[in-house]
Amino acid sequence: MVGMRRPTMADVAREVGVTAKTVSRVLNDDGPVAVETRERVMEAVRKLGYQPNLMARNMRVGARDAAIGLVIPEMGNPFFGTVAGGVESVVRPRGLTLIVGSSSETAELERSLVATFLARRVSGLMIVPSAAGDHRYLRAERAAGLPIVFLDRPAVGMAADHVVSGNREGARQGVAHLLAHGHRRIGFVGDLPAVLYTRRERFQGYRDALEAAGLPFDRALVESGHDQEAASAAVVRLLALPDPPTALFAANNFASMGAVVALARARRRDVALVGFDDLPLAEVLEPPLTVVAQDPAAIGTAAAELVLSRLDGRPSRAACREQIPTRLIARGSGELPPSR
Amino acid sequence: MVGMRRPTMADVAREVGVTAKTVSRVLNDDGPVAVETRERVMEAVRKLGYQPNLMARNMRVGARDAAIGLVIPEMGNPFFGTVAGGVESVVRPRGLTLIVGSSSETAELERSLVATFLARRVSGLMIVPSAAGDHRYLRAERAAGLPIVFLDRPAVGMAADHVVSGNREGARQGVAHLLAHGHRRIGFVGDLPAVLYTRRERFQGYRDALEAAGLPFDRALVESGHDQEAASAAVVRLLALPDPPTALFAANNFASMGAVVALARARRRDVALVGFDDLPLAEVLEPPLTVVAQDPAAIGTAAAELVLSRLDGRPSRAACREQIPTRLIARGSGELPPSR
DNA sequence: TTGTAAGCGTTATCAT
DNA sequence: ATGATAACGCTTACAA
């Protein structure tokens, strides 16, 4: 039983007494086929359990695999998972399969994944670039007409299509929300400086809001950490300042969780908090967490549609950027008044 | 520039003045090649920017795609995302690519995804089966030697390898934990009855624990809901009973969140709670949530290793089942004493 | 309406 | 150490 050769088109053809081409015609609704022949072919297909070999088809037909390669930093992260889900939802109805790999945020893994995808001759490439990367090596591919779209962050060293959140505007809105509730000293808790595109943008939004309100920028109110624990520590430092903030803006979900934990540990229910990126349990926290929510599914679908439009021949001479707007969700923590 | 044909092995060969087969030898470290020839080939490869075509290779070499097809219910769900990450971490070092699709928990989508994967001639199939499915149609594939492994839930209508959490034992442990803290009336909040394998197993664990403690089973203490809101409502009903439970066991994370929300809304800090499956913010809740944590990454890696071992020729005559143990994490909510 | 021949880009086999 | 030829399973182009 094991290793039994799979039936091929030729096997089906032999069974019916026709040629492979005729079977192909039936299966692809190509060219004219006699009704009776069609029926006999279909029956032989069922009888033999024949399944067309997509590999062979792809190879002959386009020299391109009917697949889209997607690189994300991490599969277990619901943000990127939802992005991937968005991509799949637009790509599958077009008959394209999704091939996914995770880079663990390292440029090396990202590059090796991309190499694999290119070797497979995927029809399109979608990349959430890792921080340290350089994408110049993809210029030739892009020039040769391969649709390449970057997600969540733009490419480095190369002008290419990309779809990102409205980071700057979203952060501005979140901070403006705190300002509107009377806060004048607002701490910023973000990733390690300058490394990440999103951190830079959101930081700009923070400054935009302050400037629009005519408030001075105080470097002492800016703290960073690369994970939840570090963010907690950052919050502790902020609250220990001589002139501490009455509100916090957490620039990503690790920072948000770190801030929530730090405030809970310190039993500080008087510090306002707005986080960038929504959390599953946000409404259960005390107080419920006010957030600037992103729309990861929309990032995925928009990027996938961009790839499809390139595939359909939309010229890709000029790189285009798409911004997916964020949405402020007021739940309580961002509406607390200043404590002093 | 667009549509420029990619260099093939033949192009490289022509450039060097040899045959395609020689280039193939160099690239695959196959057979003997003169040192000088090898160098000239490598240089031509660089010069032309040649990249081997994996599709063609796969087709010729094994009639199998060097890929593993994985079906999960939902990409945005961190549980399944982490499972997928576990699979990838095992499969990639072996040179296999991961192809993923989500079924949205519907048997139709699952089946169509599987069909696509089979048509691509993947080397292995990994499926988190959706509730309503029937997998008899896969028996022939399995008999023909295709490695097929089910994750998180077993197959229906067919004996096949599967890797699942220790649902029953984990639930037993969680409930026993509550019993050890003095509770005698423990409510069970789960999915809709009987539909889902995991719900059945965990319910059995609940009963095991009661039985071991010599406590009677009270049907009134069992409630169900298919999402967070329904679970909340279920908890409200339980607490309104004439002789209400002093503790709750939530059999999945939706139920856990629903229970947390319901207790918070009712300002009931006196009801103990143990949830099945960990939550990101569990330690931030008040009180911090005690859980029976699963190990989704381990489920993924174990299942992937099973596929690889089958691929390496381990006979698959008998289906094997692997249980990944759970781990009780006591954080506070499960250690509350009975309120009366 | 159906068949024939050729080819997609590799690698296996057998020669040289 | 290298080459010639065929083959993998399918589709395109053309012929019958």
B114/B116 Cα distance (integer angstroms): 5
Which of A77, A110, A126, A284 should we substitute to test contact with B (largest number of B Cβ atoms within 10 Å)?
A284
CATH topology for B9-52 is: 434 Repressor (Amino-terminal Domain) (1.10.260)
**C-beta atoms of B63 and A6 within 8 A:** yes
What are the C-alpha distances in Å from B339 to residues A303, B36, B181, B274?
53, 84, 11, 16
**C-beta atoms of B54 and A98 within 8 A:** no
Calculate the angstrom distance between C1' of D1 and CA of B8: 23
- Residues 22-61 of chain A with CB under 8 A from chain B are 49, 51-56, 58-59
A148/A162 Cα distance (integer angstroms): 9
pLDDT at A194: 67
Name the token pair of B237. Answer: 């009903």
Contact in structure between B113 and B331 (CB atoms under 8 Å): no
* A110 closest CA partner among A134, A82, A130: A130
Task: Say whether pLDDT at A193 is over 70.
Answer: no
State the pTM of this model. 0.93
Q: Which residues contact A333 (CB under 8 A, 6 or more apart)?
A: A272, A273, A274, A285, A287, A288, A289, A290
pLDDT at B286: 85
Q: Which residues contact B183 (CB under 8 A, 6 or more apart)?
A: B245, B246, B247, B272, B338
Identify the DSSP state of B6.
P
Q: What is the pLDDT of residues A100-116, one digit of tens each?
A: 999 999 999 999 999 99
- Smallest Cα distance from B272 to chain A, Å: 17
pLDDT at A340: 67
Amino acid at A89: S
Exposed (0-12), middle (13-18) or buried (19+): which is A24, by Cβ within 10 Å?
A: middle
What are the C-alpha distances in Å from B116 to residues A294, B34, B109, B161?
32, 43, 11, 21
Residue B104: left (phi > 0), alpha (psi -120 to 50), or beta? left
Does nucleic acid strand D have an atom less than 7 angstroms from the CB of A19? no
Does nucleic acid strand C have an atom less than 7 angstroms from the CB of B70? no
- Smallest Cα distance from A179 to chain B, Å: 26
Calculate the angstrom distance between C1' of C3 and CA of A42: 19
- Smallest Cα distance from A4 to chain B, Å: 6
The three-state secondary structure class of B179 is helix
Does nucleic acid strand D have an atom less than 7 angstroms from the CB of B40? no
Calculate the angstrom distance between C1' of C8 and CA of A146: 19
Which nucleotide C1' is nearest B57 CA?
A: C10
Instruction: Please state the φ and ψ torsions of residue A310, each to the nearest 5 degrees.
Output: -65, -40
Counting DSSP H helices and E strands in chain B, the numbers are: 12, 12
Amino acid at B78: P
Select from B80, B116, B120 the Cβ nearest to the Cβ of A55. Answer: B120
Q: Cβ contacts (< 8 Å) between B140 and chain A: which residues?
A: 49
Counting DSSP H helices and E strands in chain A, the numbers are: 12, 12
> A66: nearest CA in chain B?
B120
Q: What angle do CA A302, A307, A313 make, to 5 degrees?
A: 130
Does nucleic acid strand C have an atom less than 7 angstroms from the CB of A219? no
A285/A19 Cα distance (integer angstroms): 68
How many beta-carbon contacts under 8 Å exist across A and B? Answer: 166
Which nucleotide C1' is nearest A31 CA?
A: C1
> Would an 8 Å CB–CB cutoff place B257 in contact with chain A?
yes
Q: What's the average model confidence in pLDDT over A295-300?
A: 98
Task: Say whether pLDDT at A165 is over 80.
Answer: yes
pLDDT at B313: 85
Contact in structure between B290 and B274 (CB atoms under 8 Å): yes
Amino acid at A215: L
Calculate the angstrom distance between C1' of C15 and CA of B28: 21
For D5, which residue's CA is nearest its C1'? B21
Consecutive 10-residue runs of chain B (340 residues): their mean pLDDT? 74 91 90 88 91 90 89 96 98 96 95 96 96 92 93 95 98 98 98 83 98 98 93 97 98 94 93 95 89 98 97 86 98 94
Which nucleotide C1' is nearest B11 CA?
A: C9
**C-beta atoms of B102 and A88 within 8 A:** yes
**C-beta atoms of B145 and A51 within 8 A:** no
Name the token pair of A206. Answer: 């923070």
Calculate the angstrom distance between C1' of C11 and CA of A121: 19
pLDDT at B194: 67
Q: What is the pLDDT of residues A234-274, one digit of tens each?
A: 999 999 999 999 999 999 999 999 999 999 889 999 999 99
Does nucleic acid strand D have an atom less than 7 angstroms from the CB of A29? no
Task: Say whether pLDDT at A1 is over 60.
Answer: no
Q: Comparing B64-165+296-324 with B167-293, is the CATH topology the same?
A: yes
Select from B2, B121, B144 the Cβ nearest to the Cβ of A55. Answer: B121
The three-state secondary structure class of B165 is strand
CATH number attached to the domain at B64-165+296-324: 3.40.50.2300
B178/B54 Cα distance (integer angstroms): 55
**C-beta atoms of B285 and A281 within 8 A:** yes
B292/B327 Cα distance (integer angstroms): 5
The three-state secondary structure class of B123 is strand
Does nucleic acid strand C have an atom less than 7 angstroms from the CB of B28? yes
Query: B35-48 and B20-28 are packed helices; what angle lies between their axes, rounded to 10 degrees?
Result: 100
Query: A35-48 and A20-28 are packed helices; what angle lies between their axes, rounded to 10 degrees?
Result: 90
Contact in structure between A99 and A113 (CB atoms under 8 Å): no
- Smallest Cα distance from A59 to chain B, Å: 7
Instruction: Name the H helices within chain B.
Output: 9-16, 20-28, 35-48, 54-61, 78-91, 107-119, 139-143, 167-180, 197-212, 228-239, 253-265, 296-311
pLDDT at A137: 94
The domain spans of chain B are 9-52, 64-165+296-324, 167-293
Q: What's the average model confidence in pLDDT over A265-293?
A: 93
Q: Cβ contacts (< 8 Å) between B128 and chain A: which residues?
A: none
Q: What's the average model confidence in pLDDT over A102-131?
A: 95
Question: Which residues numbered 95-124 in chain A sit less than 7 A from strand D, measured from CB?
Answer: none
Question: Which residues numbered 2-31 in chain B sit less than 7 A from strand D, measured from CB?
Answer: 17-22, 25, 31
Does nucleic acid strand D have an atom less than 7 angstroms from the CB of A9? yes
User: How far is residue A214 CA from its own chain's centroid?
Assistant: 35
Query: A253-265 and A228-239 are packed helices; what angle lies between their axes, rounded to 10 degrees?
Result: 50
- Please give the mean pLDDT across all residues of chain A: 93
* B101 closest CA partner among A252, A165, A79, A89: A89
For C2, which residue's CA is nearest its C1'? A22
Secondary-structure percent of chain A, ordered helix, strand, coil, rounded to 5: 45, 15, 40
A225/A193 Cα distance (integer angstroms): 9
* A103 closest CA partner among A139, A164, A153: A153
Q: Which nucleotides of D are covered by protein (CB under 7 A)?
A: 1-5, 7-13
For domain B167-293, which CATH number applies: 1.10.150.120, 3.10.560.10, 3.40.50.2300, 3.20.20.70? 3.40.50.2300
pLDDT at B196: 85
A146/A122 Cα distance (integer angstroms): 9
> Would an 8 Å CB–CB cutoff place B67 in contact with chain A?
yes
